[in-house]
Structure 1
Amino acid sequence: MKFEITPIAYIQSCYKEKFATPRQPGLVSAAKGQIQLIPPFNHPDTVEGLESCSHLWLQFVFHQCLDQGWKNKVRPPRLGGNKKMGVFATRATHRPNALGLSVVKLDSIQIEKQSVILHVSGLDLIDGTPIVDIKPYIPYSDSLTHARYDFAQLAPKELSVIFSTPAQLALNQQDNREQLSTLIRQVLAQDPRPAFHEVDEARIYGAKLDCFNVNWRYLKTDQETTIEVVAITLL
């Protein structure tokens, strides 16, 4: 038996590539996006009552992985990229049906003629991701305080983020500098580098966030590892 799934919407996201996109939703509250419903699903009737929800479940397609196949076992980044686990015991992007599930905060609903746009935040989806279903998050049934996942029971430790003088000057020139600063800090605090990378102060990393190229490096002392943003430039 086979099923055909049709996208009902596409998301416009501040994440323009996989690298530096958070591995879980809700970790970067400053990450904002817009879910643009497409015909014939963009009728105002389809979202009537949705304003009563604070959060939404999004079912989506890992569209950048469709032609890359999948394996029975994968290497989760949370385990350092060295230990293998069964694909169904992880949230790996390379899955048999390439489907993902995410929860986001619903900030507002915009309806204009035949346009229905859901403004959301806390997302972990790449720009252009196809959305195949939207459901309300129901706290009494969806929030299970007694649930456990032994491999990742707690959120990962966040790193401190500082800005070099050139990066701070570039940031100060932006009209949305406070929002951009918060986005960069929250994203980089999740430590987006590959799990097998050791700290190398000479290595410069880069990612596309919103309309900017952001470059950073890692600084290590005896006490902690710190991220230094070294450059912010327009795409």
Structure 2
Amino acid sequence: MEITPIGRVRTCFGEKFAVPRQPGLCPSAWGELVFEKEFRSEEALRGLEGFSHVWLIFHFHQTADRGWSPTVRPPRLGGNQRVGVFASRSTFRPNGLGLSLVRLDGIDRECNEGPVLLLGGVDLVDGTPVFDVKPYLPYAEAPEGAEGGYAEEAPVRLELEGVEQLEGLSERDRRVIEEALSLDPRPAGARHEPGREHGVMICGQNVRFEIEGGICRIKGMDKGRVRD
């Protein structure tokens, strides 16, 4: 089977580092699904505005060339315990496919690239290819008594310090940065290096921060891409 992207998302996350590990954890995170020209059809979206959320089937395009592994180390288990890839949300999957439930904030029908889906609570890096969109059905897809295995509880959020460093940004951009950093975006290995300064591209800014003792301290920000 051959599948072709129907579009790509533009999001507030300029790189994979700091993208939330699940959708909805960063409610202010925004994105836009821009369809490829052949799929820019008003008819294809007829009735979609009645749904609050949509499923996106997408491609882990930044890691697909690294192949897959039958076992992985989930961050929720500290990166020390292995589970089967099919018992995880790992990016290193046989077909490199991802599934994300995002908020549908609207449909922009006036822009030159329209219609464009306006999305919220995204967990996708800028430029991610999308293969399909499906409406979320609450009666069928929120089963009573569902269990979450080793990821039953939501992640604990860090306390933030230095939020004054974000002055000058829009309220939305400040919320995105604060929500993303409170989730401790560091890979499991880096969590054994408290006090190390990191830099991450969010909302067009390189945000510098360090984490120690359950506190994330925002050190500053500047334009441009600076790798940690």
Q: Could you say which TM-score interval applies, normalised by the shorter chain? A: over 0.9
Quick one: which amino acid aligns to residue 89 of structure 2?
R
- TM-superposition CA deviations, 1:43-73 (whole Å, max 9, x none): 1111110000000000000011121111111
Q: Which residue pairs with 1:126 in the alignment?
A: 125
- State the TM-score, normalizing by the size of structure 1: 0.91
Identity of matched residues, %: 41
> SS at the partner of 2:149?
coil
Distance 2:155 2:25 in 1: 10
Aligned-residue offset at 1:172: 2.2
- TM-superposition CA deviations, 1:200-232 (whole Å, max 9, x none): 22x101110011000101232xxxx11010011
Distance 2:167 2:81 in 1: 43
Structure 1 vs Structure 2 CA RMSD: 1.4
Equivalent residue in structure 2 for 1:81, among 75, 79, 84: 79
Q: Post-superposition, which runs of at least 4 consecutive aligned residues in structure 1 deviate over 6 A?
A: none
- TM-superposition CA deviations, 1:147-195 (whole Å, max 9, x none): 112201010111111216xxx2x53233x1x222211110011111122
Specify every segment of 5 or more residues in structure 2 that has no aligned partner in the other structure, as ranges. none
- State the TM-score, normalizing by the size of structure 2: 0.93
Quick one: which amino acid aligns to residue 168 of structure 2?
Q
Instruction: Decide which structure has the larger Cα Rg and report it.
Output: 1
Aligned-residue offset at 1:96: 0.3
Specify every segment of 5 or more residues in structure 1 that has no aligned partner in the other structure, as ranges. none
Aligned-residue offset at 1:199: 5.1
Q: Which residue pairs with 1:59 in the alignment?
A: 57
The count of aligned residue pairs is 222
Counterparts in 2 of 1:149-228, with a 5 A limit? 149-163=148-162, 168=164, 170-174=165-169, 176=170, 178-196=171-189, 197-198=191-192, 200-201=194-195, 203-220=196-213, 225-228=214-217
Q: Which residue pairs with 2:18 in the alignment?
A: 20
Aligned-residue offset at 1:114: 6.2
Q: Which residue pairs with 1:101 in the alignment?
A: 99
